[in-house]
Amino acid sequence: MINYNNLSQRLIDAEYAVRGKIVTRAQELEKQGKKITYCNIGNPHTFAQKPMSYVREVLSLIEYPNLLTQDLGSLFHSDSIDHAKYILKQMPEGVGAYSASAGVEFVRKAVAEFIAKRDNIPVNHDRIILTEGASRAAQLVIAAIIKNQNDGILLPIPQYPMYSASLTLAGGLSIGYYLDEENHWQLNEDILRESYSLARLNKLNPVAITVINPGNPTGAVLSYENIKMIINFARKHNLSILADEVYQENIYSKNSKFYSFAKVMHDMQVDDVSLFSFHSMSKGFFGECGHRSGYLEVRNVPDDVFAQLVKFQSINLCANVLGQMATYMMVTPPQEGDASYGLYIQERTAILDDLREKSIIIGNELNNIDGISVNMPEGAMYAFVKIALPANKVNTSLGSKADVKYCMELLEKTGLCVVPGSGFGQLPNTLHFRTTFLPPREQIIEMVKKLSAFHQEYIAAL
Amino acid sequence: MINYNNLSQRLIDAEYAVRGKIVTRAQELEKQGKKITYCNIGNPHTFAQKPMSYVREVLSLIEYPNLLTQDLGSLFHSDSIDHAKYILKQMPEGVGAYSASAGVEFVRKAVAEFIAKRDNIPVNHDRIILTEGASRAAQLVIAAIIKNQNDGILLPIPQYPMYSASLTLAGGLSIGYYLDEENHWQLNEDILRESYSLARLNKLNPVAITVINPGNPTGAVLSYENIKMIINFARKHNLSILADEVYQENIYSKNSKFYSFAKVMHDMQVDDVSLFSFHSMSKGFFGECGHRSGYLEVRNVPDDVFAQLVKFQSINLCANVLGQMATYMMVTPPQEGDASYGLYIQERTAILDDLREKSIIIGNELNNIDGISVNMPEGAMYAFVKIALPANKVNTSLGSKADVKYCMELLEKTGLCVVPGSGFGQLPNTLHFRTTFLPPREQIIEMVKKLSAFHQEYIAAL
């Protein structure tokens, strides 16, 4: 019989804190009847956020095409019916057949047009692969570009732990670079250079740099100049860029704007840095996590490299086809004049306004708590919150797990489920946690109150 | 800029013939206007096979729950509406939220009940993981149990190349064992022992054996006695069993019956052989390949091993949730008395009868061609066809690619797209190809005629 010692060490070593021990404990407490507020994961539909109607109307119709031959009365908007008919004309076999490995061609073309329009740049649809969420896209690239155990990828600290976990599974090494908390979590060239040099000194071979913009867990939005600096840095050191851009629609601060790496690279006329960019329907105002819908856009890679990525995808046949159609809906939203345009604008505005309002509440209110501070979230759906504990009473050094203890007690006392900073990485002698601001407004306000009371009690009891 | 030499050798080495060069050429020819009959892949909905209505009715409703608040007239069967309401009561967040990593709990419970009823054995729902098709389940297990580069898995020859490709990606070794073509492609204990001993002699460490039943590409169904032999063999040599049972509903021969490894193992009272069994909605009479719906059932593994498999799944969050619901529909079909029961039986019978008829046509007609022979397909949706070419004119040795040449010319001359035997593996000095029998009956008959004419011409031209 198989036992733990027979398992791959890479698997055992891989850690994914977002679904780790604290969440397991939260689920136990919930089963015992305790009310839990899950702020551990960016999963919008588990809260009040509803799916965008136009997406679901079309997916419902293509799932059961027989409907299109019936009198549907006023059950669906007319443009949804047209959209569904168009899709099934392009793809008469429907959503039950495997697609081409890279995804359905007309969807890949629509994605290319979406990017071209967003950035005003040329896009080749034959450098796009439709994937099961952005996670699968990232895993594909990471597993493809790690050649041996000295190869590493520069990952931000803090980072989204799917990256380190996937890198561990691929047998590569994480080369951490700190984000600059004092400077709105931007990347800092000196810090990047230091991390890179240290890695080389240790005989590691950095092959790529991962950047998450807008940031997870930081909620920061990178400036145009910062992205330029990163591209120049990557170029100088012959690094590929993995750009996680899944929160591109989640921009809240008036001073922030999303710039894609593709756009900045095009402006700079850089064509010798390989770029792998990830987008998904799980975030933005869609929140369609469950559909595992996403894409990978690749730039500046030769044909034979792209062919290997497609082959990799082919071994799992293809991304789920309904998810591919969801991606199609994401990139072809209703236009002015369409029957569902009004509802689309109304739903989108409500979701984004609500998130913006909550980003401000959480930023302001947390900063009012003594011993707690946070950079105002400018984007994404997270705040990475700094907690000050008296150093003479608490060991706050790296690996002390003081943040885990804090978050576990927060959960037990208040029912708030957040993820300790150590799950993402943090500077030595600092402690953090990541929280989403997805729960409804009233819950966010209550949550901050509970946290404030808890924090003072926690300090007093030390 | 990244180049081919920067890529993982494992990725470069992985081969998945089902979507290889011949298919690429077929797509080129199709674009040029040539009519292609795609018999390369088990993708039922690309042919006449329609989805099962009850599945699509329910999926359509849960995709757009707003429908459930409207007057639906006679658009849906009443039990489909009840089913959809039940699902959304269990899962109010709907299909747009991430589920638990192992899958939605009520679905896992329904899968456990389905297996328990099928096999009359006890099943623990907490040993089930809902996956993106059976492929993802197999990849999960393979990557988990390969510890280092000497570890290998016994794979059938011929095999479904997803196994060898996934094993190559995981850094493990294929240890081939020949299936016994002279004996209906059953497993042969002497051959197994020989393969195992040779592997040990070469300092390899066999950790598991993969068995595909009903067989892909062979179309064979294993006997109860054969499965018993395999379990005893695995037990003796401390091998885990990977049982690919995705074709369990596709049984055509009156003399064949599907027995699951779980059932036989339970009958034998064996509780010390780890079993990983895969099922999917892509085959059977559903053919829902595009939904990437499937499950992994695990037996005789300790909690800490199962926990690592769930963690592995968590790194990609979860299987697509609509696919999980499709699996739910697979394991809870309409019952007598339900409004859609009549239609369900009618659709299921039509699909399976049609496949049965075509399995007989293809088996009989191919055996009538001089120089071509095949074991009558007893199950699955494939025939693995033996072609005899004069050895004095053609190099038929292993690695000669004589089968690739044959299949490529078959494609060019007739538009038939089949997969060369070398993509699956075959005995030295034998040549084969795999064909599905999914095209409509008339196309199958025409296909056999074309093949017959082609084969005689090919031989004559040598």
A354-380 pLDDT, tens digit each: 999 999 999 999 999 999 999 999 999
B320 and A323 within 8 Å at the Cβ level: the answer is yes
Examine the domain organization and report whether B391 and B294 are in the same domain. Answer: no
Asked if B136 is an interface residue toward chain A (Cβ–Cβ < 8 A), one would say yes
Q: Which CATH number is B197's domain given?
A: 3.40.640.10
The stretch B371-383 carries a mean pLDDT of: 95
Listed in sequence order, the residues at least 6 apart from B413 whose beta carbon sits closer than 8 Å to its beta carbon are B454, B457
Query: Which residues of chain A have a CB within 8 Å of the CB of B2?
Result: 145, 240, 274, 301-302, 305
Domain final position from A331, A360, A387: A331
Expressed as residue numbers, the domain containing B404 is: 4-48+345-460
Residue B134 included in any domain: yes
Which residues 320-349 of A are in CB contact (within 8 Å) with B?
320-323
Residue B76 lies in a domain: no
- Using a cut of 0.90, tell me whether the model's pTM lies above it: yes
The structural domain count of chain B equals 2
Tell whether A322 and A178 lie within a shared domain: yes
Give the model's pLDDT for residue B312. Answer: 93
ipTM attached to this prediction: 0.94
pLDDT tens digits for range B437-447: 999 999 999 99
Write the pLDDT tens digit of every residue in B63-104.
999 999 998 888 999 999 999 999 999 999 999 999 999 999
Six-digit token string for B48? 């006449």
In a domain, B129, yes or no: yes
Asked if A313 reaches chain B (Cβ–Cβ under 8 Å), the answer is no
Both A312 and A375 in a single domain? no
Domain contains A248: yes
Question: Looking at residue A24, what is its pLDDT?
Answer: 86
Question: Is B17 a residue whose pLDDT tops 80?
Answer: no
pLDDT band at B230; cut points 50, 70, 90 = very high
Same domain membership, residue A301 and residue A154 = yes
Give the pLDDT mean for A282-310: 96
Whether B398 shows a pLDDT value over 80: the answer reads: no
Q: Answer yes or no: do A456 and A320 share one domain.
A: no
- pLDDT computed for residue B316 by the predictor: 87
Give tens-digit pLDDT for B143-191.
Answer: 999 999 999 999 999 999 999 999 999 999 999 999 999 999 999 999 9
CB proximity B303 to A under 8 Å: no
Residues of A in contact with B23 (CB under 8 A): none
Kindly report the CATH number assigned to the domain that includes residue A19.
Answer: 3.90.1150.10
Please say which residue of A266, A299, A331 terminates a domain.
Answer: A331
Is A69 near chain B, with CB under 8 Å?
no
Q: Considering the domain boundaries, does residue A12 fall inside one?
A: yes
B301 and B190: one domain?
Answer: yes
Q: How far is A21 from chain B (nearest CA, A)?
A: 11
Flag whether B208 is in a domain: yes
Taking an 8 Å cut-off on Cβ atoms, the answer to whether B96 and A289 are in contact is: yes
The reply to whether A274 and A361 lie within a common domain is no
Statement: residue A17 has pLDDT above 90: no
CA A309 to chain centroid, in Å, comes to: 21
Q: List pLDDT tens digits, range B334-365.
A: 999 999 999 999 999 999 999 999 999 999 99
CB proximity B48 to A under 8 Å: no
* Co-location of A274 and A151 in the same domain: yes
Mean pLDDT for B116-138 is: 97
- B270 and B163 share a domain? yes
The number of angstroms, rounded, from the C-alpha of A399 to the middle of its chain's C-alpha atoms is 25
Q: How high does pLDDT run on average in chain B?
A: 94
Same domain, A325 and A358: no
Q: Which residues of A touch B66 (CB under 8 A)?
A: 53, 56
Domain match, B193 and B107 both: yes
pLDDT in tens, A341-359: 999 999 999 999 999 999 9
The answer to whether residue B150 neighbours chain A at the CB level (below 8 Å) is no
- Shortest Cα distance from A151 to chain B (angstroms)? 10
Q: Does A26 touch chain B (CB under 8 A)?
A: no
Q: Which of residues 235-264 of A touch B (CB under 8 A)?
A: 240
Confidence of residue A391 (pLDDT cuts 50, 70, 90): confident
Instruction: Give a yes or no: residue A107 inside a domain.
Output: yes
Nearest to B311 among A16, A75, A308 (CB): A16
| pLDDT (0 to 100) of residue A48 | 76
A434 domain-assigned: yes
Average pLDDT value for residue range A242-252:
97
**Residue B252 shares a structural domain with residue B371:** no
Domain boundary among B293, B309, B331: B331
Among A98, A136, A289, beta carbon nearest to B97? A289
The 10s digit of each residue's pLDDT in A152-169 is 999 999 999 999 999 999
